[in-house]
Amino acid sequence: MLLPLKSSDRRPSYSVHVLQRVARHRYLLPFTMALSIASFLLIATMSTTDDRQVGTELVFRDPMSPRPPPKPLPIQELNALRGQPVAHPYRPMTAQELGLLTVYIDSGHYLGPGYAHVIDRCPWRDGEFLQCEFSNTPSRRQESHALWVHVPGAPGGIQRTHPNQKLVVMSIESAANYGELDNPNFMGQFDYEMSYRLSATIPCLYSGEWMAGITRPPIPQSKKVDAIAFLNGNCGPASGRQQIMDELIRLPGGYPVHAFGACSHNREFPPELNNDKVALFSTYKFCVAMENTIAQDYVTEKLWQSLTAGCVPVYLGAPNIQDFLPVPSDQIIIDYRALGGVQALNDRLHALSASPSSYDAMLAWKTLPVEATLPGWKFLHAQSIMPDPQCLMCQALALDLEQQCTADPVRFADST
């Protein structure tokens, strides 16, 4: 791999290096040797400094030599927030030079027919936009830059059609349901991961659509129903949510539970709210935000709807939930795992309900500017204002292609 050299390093130009590599092809040898000699003679008469005016003499810089680092792209900014260094290309390429990037959808999925489309307005550099598409047209598979598979529909053996083709795996469902996500042999096939996990190449987080309105002021607690709102249709989740709520309902002196869904149903949904879960939860002091399954990083809309509503969520889910919160967890949620049982949960609900100041403190996070929140929340906020995951995938693919092309274009061309 070629690396940018210091100005003190006297070396042939990048274009000469390319010619030398091409010279390995015997049928081009006489021609390329002649060009190489001519290039060296030309370089010997030119300064190795950058393009600038020196007196009345214009000094030229080799157009293929290293350039100043370009401004980071959205995917690079997101990676920087995760502590990943920004890799700069040897020579930045324009969107036109990169050409049309194609990601072939190589498996079934439940993301809808619109998932296969041309990615419009995906930003590149200097005001340019990438030409990129997710395609399900079979004829595009052979020459596509990447093959995309959805975990449950992934074929057993995934084979590249050319050496530089990338493999992409996607899932927004829990690893508790799709065990392949935790299988290193399966995941080791892929170059990119698009998933709910914070470590994914392209994070597809449930929080994104909720972040813009999540800090809206809550209804004053004096106008809220002094109970916990419970709205779920899955009455047998692996997380144990239903057993917990049933036990709380049966507990003598238990805090009131208003169950509006199919599970433990004891209340009718107010017709004036038009089945709006967030609107319903906003009228209650507390609400249930318990996941169907427990997995690292698996934080779904159940939490984000509750936080947006302004009720205090009773949470059960990702063991690392703190990585997703703006303040310490005990200042924003009631973490059932930390309490350890239904009686402790009941005591906590009663204590907060009886203390207006303690209850309001659980909602104080809504007044904080992003700059004053914890790093995980800053990352979620940044991700929410980024281009959509398909565009970020195109940016990641373009950056890798740029690195390959400009570091060793002959080897890259020979392998395609």
The full set of domain ranges for the chain reads: 1-49+57-66, 83-206+386-414, 216-367
Domain at 83-206+386-414, CATH from 3.30.310, 1.10.357, 3.30.450, 3.40.50: 3.40.50
User: Residue 80 — pLDDT band, cuts 50, 70, 90?
Assistant: very high
Residue 298 has pLDDT above 60, yes or no: yes
- DSSP code per residue over 184-247: HHHHTT-SEEEESSTTSSEE--TTGGGGGGTTSPPPPGGGSEEEEEE--S-SS-TT-HHHHHHH
112: left (phi over 0), alpha (psi -120 to 50) or beta: left
Contacts of 149 (CB under 8 A, 6+ apart): 106, 107, 155, 158, 167, 168, 169, 170
State how far the Cα of 194 lies from the Cα of 146, in Å rounded to an integer: 13
Residue 18 has pLDDT above 90, yes or no: no
Residue 350 has pLDDT above 50, yes or no: yes
CB 399 within 8 A of CB 201: no
Residue 46 has pLDDT above 50, yes or no: no
DSSP lists the bridge partners of residue 135 as: 104
Q: What's the predicted TM-score (pTM) here?
A: 0.82
CB 72 within 8 A of CB 31: no
State how far the Cα of 148 lies from the Cα of 204, in Å rounded to an integer: 15
Can you list the alpha helix ranges (DSSP code H) found in 62-217?
74-81, 95-98, 184-187
Comparison of pLDDT for 14 and 229, the residue scoring more: 229
Give kind and range of the element (H or E) at residue 339: helix 336-339
Q: Is 94 helix (H, G, I), strand (E, B) or coil?
A: coil
When the pLDDT of each residue in the chain is averaged and rounded to a whole number, the result is 86
Cα–Cα nearest to 375, from 320, 334, 332, 325: 325
Residue 4 has pLDDT above 60, yes or no: no
**Between 389-407 and 74-81, two packed helices, what is the crossing angle to 10 degrees?**
100
Q: How many CB atoms lie within 10 A of CB 342?
A: 19
CB 147 within 8 A of CB 167: yes
Residue 48 has pLDDT above 50, yes or no: no
Sign for the pseudo-dihedral over CA of 202, 207, 211, 213: positive
User: Residue 102 — pLDDT band, cuts 50, 70, 90?
Assistant: very high
pLDDT digits 0-9 by tens, 115-124: 999 998 999 9
Residue 309 has pLDDT above 90, yes or no: yes
CATH architecture of the domain formed by 216-367: 3-Layer(aba) Sandwich (3.40)
Paired sense of beta strands 100-105 and 57-59, if any = unpaired
Express as a percent the part of the chain with pLDDT over 90.
Answer: 74
